[in-house]
Amino acid sequence: MVAEIGQFVLILALVTACFQSVLPLVGAARSNRPMMRFASNAAFVQFAAITGAFACLTVGYVTSDFSILNVVNNSHSLKPMLYKISGVWGNHEGSLLLWSWILALFGLAVALFGRNLPDGLKARVLAIQGLIGVGFLMFILFTSNPFERVNPAPLDGNGLNPLLQDPGLAFHPPFLYLGYVGLSITFSFAIAALIEGRVDPAWARWVRPWTLAAWGFLTIGIALGSWWAYYELGWGGWWFWDPVENASFMPWLAATALLHSAIVVEKRDALKNWTILLAIIAFSLSLLGTFLVRSGVLNSVHAFASDPARGVFILMFLIFVIGGSLLLYGIRAPMMKGGGLFAPISREGALVLNNLLLSTITATVLLGTLYPIFLDAFTGAKVSVGPPYFEATFLPLAIPLVAAMAFGPFLAWKRGDLAGVISRLKFALLVALAFAGFIWWWQTGAPIMALLGMGLFAWLLVGSVLEWMERIKLFRGPLASSWKRMIQLPRSAHGMTVAHIGVALVILGITASESWQSEHLGVMRPGEIVTVGGYDFRFDGAETITGPNYDAVRGTFLAYTGGNKGVYLYPEQRRYTDPPMETTEAAIRPMLSADLYAVIGEADGKGGYAVRIYHKPFISWIWIGAFVMFAGGALSLSDRRLRLGAPERAKQEPAVSSAPSGVKG
């Protein structure tokens, strides 16, 4: 019964979405207010219907209803409750349902919070959201129906892939989708602007909070994913330049660029065409990621089961959405008047540099990700483009980007004073050089990339703090007046400083853990002690334990320095039965100065076990930094000027915007 209700409300949602994507567009073109207002109501109905469908599937999972094929394939009655619930979106069909639900949620948010959007713009934005919804709902209903019944119902399910039975991964897809789908809003705003033929600073002010929110969610989603890879895959690596990782990284890069270019539109009324294009590209990359993961076109370690029929549908959808929007861009963008020219040494000049570098990085990642497909298409060869390519192209672009990050915020709008900035950043440069020198002395010589990374970390950290101090005139006057300035400084300015510091911390984590990791690989017998990274690791033997739905070999290690009591580490090698699979549960002791990381492997039959022990200096800072970046975004989002519901229209605008024919400058 529950499956049929789910199916029914899903069809209801599709029908609503069809109307939502047509009527408001017609209404906006004819200045018909009721038709435009319909958009908000439709968004509400669509949200309610998809919520219902999602609830139905969740009920199916929680009650282990094995007459539903999707539950049979991905769940098991013995699975812990958390993973029964996360199993709802831990598979192809369910994850698409989650996608559509978030899409509807954001549509509803625009309907609710966009009260002071002009009617025409709001109607068009919601219509485009509806159109995307149509595509996804059709995809679900026609190729990936989560409510398919199976008769006769089996006694038990096949279980969820054990690698995915993990708290980090349970929440990784929802955050990632919040990010991907958040970009659909900026996309819809961009298309609406193209239809209206008008982009103004007020438009940028509406778009920025959505970009910021999507960017923040993507940051958290990617961080959770890499954290999962770090502790679950047991290789100690956290980023593999895998196509699926790139699929989430590219929209993040584009969103980062968009975030910065929207500032220029808002403050200087320039870079409009570029910002529109970036909004389209950012969402297109999200869709492309979805396609690559699900179509079977690319081999990847975490690709969903692939099906050519799905591939054809997604590709047609991609061609319609991406091709259509880029075509619209090609036709309408030339009519939009760009802003005035600006000097290279200025805030906007620095933001253009940021955009150039970020979009080049995006392009190189895209190239590396698609290259295997192109090669396969032209020559039939299947190859991996691995870290060597990405490291060789990413670093040379990322280094100037970080170098400029400390620089840009110091520059004034319109005309910056280069000499002044250099003199104010002298201190940061000195600290960076001294810090790199200190590292060189302390580590008695270090690879040049390690010194460069540590130098960049210090440069960006000190540069960001200096800029913040400058703004509140700290130590330039009485502390009370600095305090007052700090309170009065817009939260978005604080947010920028925090987010940039977050980037510095990520650089610290990456550089230190890559450069000074120490490890021990080999067979250890009970009682044996090895020293890794200044810690003694004593192996106390291993035992067999039984978990809720697995058996495991659990090793015990005591890690200590000097006279300290030390900490115990319990790495496991788990053997799941449904489905049969082995997973590595690394034991990690995260500390601010380093992570202790232990993995236990096969027994050698003579009482010893293959073990891997790592000492990874400062690696936690990668995720701390990512969280700090997110916090910066959230702080900025809480700025009164950017608050979702309260954008002020810059100038007096007519309540009903112009029809498509009325293209203005």
Report the interface residues with another protein, using CB under 8 A.
235, 240-242, 273, 277, 280-281, 284, 291, 295, 297, 299-301, 308, 311-312, 315, 318-319, 322-323, 326-327, 329-331, 333-334, 370, 372-377, 379-388, 519, 521, 601, 610, 612
Residue type at 203 in one-letter notation: W
Shortest distance (Å) from residue 312 CB to another protein:
7
35 versus 370: smaller Cβ distance to another protein? 370
13 versus 322: smaller Cβ distance to another protein? 322
Shortest distance (Å) from residue 385 CB to another protein:
7
175 versus 609: smaller Cβ distance to another protein? 609
277 versus 401: smaller Cβ distance to another protein? 277
152 versus 380: smaller Cβ distance to another protein? 380
Dihedral angle computed from the Cα positions of residues 171, 177, 179 and 184, in that order, rounded to the nearest 10 degrees: -160
Q: Is 75 left (phi over 0), alpha (psi -120 to 50) or beta?
A: beta
Instruction: Quote the CA–CA distance of 70 and 479 in Å, as a whole number.
Output: 63
559 versus 599: smaller Cβ distance to another protein? 599
Residue type at 597 in one-letter notation: Y
327 versus 412: smaller Cβ distance to another protein? 327
Instruction: Quote the CA–CA distance of 494 and 492 in Å, as a whole number.
Output: 5
Among candidates 209, 232, 223, 229, which has minimal Cα distance to 252?
223
Distances (CA, A) of 520 to 132, 375, 534, 595, 596: 51, 39, 12, 14, 12
Please tell me whether residue 616 adopts helix, strand or coil conformation. Answer: strand
208 versus 612: smaller Cβ distance to another protein? 612
Rounded to 10°, the helix 387-407/347-379 angle is 170
Rounded to 10°, the helix 92-113/33-62 angle is 140
106 versus 240: smaller Cβ distance to another protein? 240
What are 165's two structure tokens?
A: 């039975």
Shortest distance (Å) from residue 194 CB to another protein:
11
The 10 Å CB-count burial string (b at 16+, else e) for 210-244 is bbbbbbbbbbbbbbbbbbbbbbbbbebebbbbbbb
Shortest distance (Å) from residue 87 CB to another protein:
25
Among candidates 499, 248, 508, 274, which has minimal Cα distance to 365?
248
* Number of neighbouring beta carbons within 10 Å of residue 55: 16
Shortest distance (Å) from residue 362 CB to another protein:
13
What are the start-end ranges of the H helices in 443-489? 448-471, 479-488
60 versus 289: smaller Cβ distance to another protein? 289
19 versus 390: smaller Cβ distance to another protein? 390
Q: Give the burial class of 297: count Cβ atoms within 10 A of its Cβ; 0-12 exposed, 13-18 middle, 19 or more buried.
A: buried
Among candidates 242, 310, 243, 314, which has minimal Cα distance to 284?
314
Shortest distance (Å) from residue 346 CB to another protein:
24
Contact (Cβ atoms closer than 8 angstroms) between residue 10 and residue 53: yes
Shortest distance (Å) from residue 563 CB to another protein:
31
Shortest distance (Å) from residue 288 CB to another protein:
9
Shortest distance (Å) from residue 300 CB to another protein:
7
Among candidates 255, 99, 131, which has minimal Cα distance to 123?
131
497 versus 513: smaller Cβ distance to another protein? 513
The per-residue DSSP string of 516-581 comes to S-EEEEEEE-TT-EEEETTEEEEEEEEEEEE-SSEEEEEEEEEEE-TT---EEE--EEEEETTTTE
* Number of neighbouring beta carbons within 10 Å of residue 353: 17
Instruction: Quote the CA–CA distance of 625 and 633 in Å, as a whole number.
Output: 12
How far does the chain reach from its first CA to its final CA, in angstroms? 56
Distances (CA, A) of 92 to 80, 492, 592: 20, 38, 37
Shortest distance (Å) from residue 588 CB to another protein:
17
4 versus 391: smaller Cβ distance to another protein? 391
Shortest distance (Å) from residue 280 CB to another protein:
8
Shortest distance (Å) from residue 331 CB to another protein:
6
601 versus 608: smaller Cβ distance to another protein? 601
